């Protein structure tokens, strides 16, 4: 722990600058402070803030959370284990996840983690946007980068939805949307759809327009009747799934490195796992054991080999999920409980 290191030892450590205070940046900052590395984190926005995210964390192990020192921050999360699937208005069935996930809003989680980082002696500069220029000691965790892509992500928190602690997944004609209970009685509603520029000109919330356009009329009607949380509606467009084109000379982690298809609920886990993989090499750099180039090479090697398989499988599964020719066979397989759910689950995680 940083507190147990002598001041002299800490002063000898080189410092790390983190650009982007989402999950990857905050978790990395906390973990580095726990081993005495001086950390300054720059976040473009202010906490707390809503982010487009399904808020369903699946795959990260208890060991990784403990290694990062953020297990207590995630302790209040709900632990959903059941997924209920619809295709359009047709109910396909219930599936049990091999292990419980975690559901907590980014509004709450990022705020708690930012306070934890400060409490550990990290410096956080809010409203501070960093330029992606390579620099020794700079880690890039600034999330999705603008890129031409066919997707739009939409989210809102709503109340008065009848929902137990399971995940609802609704497949539309050109996208999907998930509902999960987070804290304080709010339900997070978040989906990924193919962009239809004309829908932006409608008079109702964009989320509802996309639901109707995707044949999810019943869900749109349900959501029309409930209370929406102020300022929680968010949208993000113009990004690409999969490995991101590298920013030369920068150590990139989390979505800045690779974006997994959101239906897996594994993106936040990957951000945390990447932070955990980076702690060792960054600590060795900060202690003067290896140079910056070697630390970058080690991190790149381990993140690539840890994530390549799941990124590729998730991309294939998402294409099948949204392919019109596969919809009927998918519905039949799901109804008959013949989808290799556990196998897909484990291969899109580790
Ligand atoms: C529609 C959709 C649904 C999703 N659902 C899920 C889900 O259910 N489960 C799951 O695990 N994952 C989900 N994800 C993915 C998940 O949100 C990301 O994988 C995760 O947020 C990545 O964390 P990160 O820290 O890398 O980036 P982010 O959480 O995006 O954080 C990046 C931070 O950097 C800041 N920033 C940006 N630019 C700069 C700059 N220049 N300087 C300083 N700061 C900057 C941003 O303000 C932000 O706070 C979903 C994604 C989408 C699009």
**Got the DSSP string for 50-86?**
--S---EE-S--HHHHHHHT-HHHHTTSB---EEEEE
Give me the mean pLDDT over the 30-46 stretch: 98
The per-residue pLDDT for 1 is 47
Distance 328 CA to ligand 1 centre (A): 33
Q: From CA 273, how far away is CA 123, in angstroms rounded? A: 23
Q: What percent of the chain has pLDDT over 90?
A: 86
**Quick one: tokens of 50?**
């809503």
Supply the pTM of this predicted model. 0.95
pLDDT > 80? residue 55: yes
Q: Is 125 in the pocket of ligand 1 (CB under 6 A)?
A: no
Give me the mean pLDDT over the 135-164 stretch: 91
The per-residue pLDDT for 5 is 55
Radius of gyration of the chain (CA): 20
CATH of the domain at 306: 3.50.50.60
The per-residue pLDDT for 9 is 63
pLDDT > 80? residue 8: no
The per-residue pLDDT for 161 is 64
Q: From CA 6, how far away is CA 324, in angstroms rounded? A: 62
Q: Is 262 in the pocket of ligand 1 (CB under 6 A)?
A: yes
pLDDT > 60? residue 336: yes
The per-residue pLDDT for 342 is 80
Distance 92 CA to ligand 1 centre (A): 30
Q: Is 271 in the pocket of ligand 1 (CB under 6 A)?
A: yes
Instruction: Name the DSSP class of 200.
Output: G
Angle between helix 324-335 and 292-322 (nearest 10): 80
In this structure, which residue's CA is closest to atom 40 in ligand 1? Answer: 129
In this structure, which residue's CA is closest to atom 8 in ligand 1? Answer: 54
**Quick one: tokens of 313?**
């499988």
Which residues form the domain of 140?
A: 2-347
Distance 51 CA to ligand 1 centre (A): 7
CB 275 within 8 A of CB 28: yes
Q: Is 241 in the pocket of ligand 1 (CB under 6 A)?
A: no
The per-residue pLDDT for 3 is 47
Q: From CA 95, how far away is CA 200, in angstroms rounded? A: 35
Q: What percent of the chain has pLDDT over 70?
A: 95
The per-residue pLDDT for 231 is 96
Structural domain total, the chain? 1
Q: From CA 343, how far away is CA 87, in angstroms rounded? A: 21
- Residue ranges of E strands in 173-257: 175-181, 187-194, 234-237, 242-243, 251-252
Q: What are phi and psi of 260, to 5 degrees?
A: -90, 150
């Amino acid at each position: 722990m940083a507190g147990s290191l002598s001041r002299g030892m800490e002063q000898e450590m080189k410092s790390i600058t983190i650009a982007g205070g989402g999950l990857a940046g905050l978790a990395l900052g906390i973990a580095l402070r726990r081993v005495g590395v001086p950390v300054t984190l720059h976040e473009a926005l202010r906490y707390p803030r809503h982010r487009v995210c399904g808020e369903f964390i699946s795959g990260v192990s208890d060991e990784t959370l403990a290694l990062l020192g953020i297990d207590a921050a995630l302790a209040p999360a709900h632990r959903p284990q059941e997924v209920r699937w619809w295709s359009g208005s047709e109910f396909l069935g219930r599936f049990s996840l091999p292990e419980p996930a975690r559901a907590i809003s980014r509004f709450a989680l990022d705020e708690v983690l930012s306070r934890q980082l400060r409490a550990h002696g990290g410096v956080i500069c809010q409203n501070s946007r960093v330029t992606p220029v390579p620099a020794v000691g700079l880690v890039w965790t600034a999330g999705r980068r603008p890129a031409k892509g066919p997707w739009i992500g939409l989210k809102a928190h709503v109340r008065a939805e009848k929902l137990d602690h399971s995940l609802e997944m609704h497949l539309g004609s050109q996208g999907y949307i998930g509902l999960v209970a987070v804290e304080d009685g709010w339900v997070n509603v978040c989906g990924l759809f193919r962009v239809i520029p004309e829908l932006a000109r409608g008079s109702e919330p964009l989320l509802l327009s996309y639901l109707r356009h995707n044949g999810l009329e019943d869900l749109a009607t349900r959501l029309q009747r409930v209370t929406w949380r102020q300022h929680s509606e968010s949208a993000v467009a113009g990004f690409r799934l999969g490995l991101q084109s590298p920013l030369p000379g920068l150590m990139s982690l989390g979505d800045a490195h690779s974006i997994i298809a959101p239906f897996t609920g594994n993106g936040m886990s990957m951000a945390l796992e990447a932070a955990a993989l980076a702690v060792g090499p960054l600590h060795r750099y900060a202690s003067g054991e290896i140079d910056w180039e070697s630390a970058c090479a080690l991190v790149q090697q381990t993140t690539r080999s840890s994530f390549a398989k799941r990124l590729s499988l998730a991309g294939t599964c998402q294409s099948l999920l949204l392919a019109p020719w596969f919809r009927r066979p998918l519905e039949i397989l799901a109804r008959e409980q013949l989808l290799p759910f556990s196998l897909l689950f484990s291969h899109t995680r580790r």
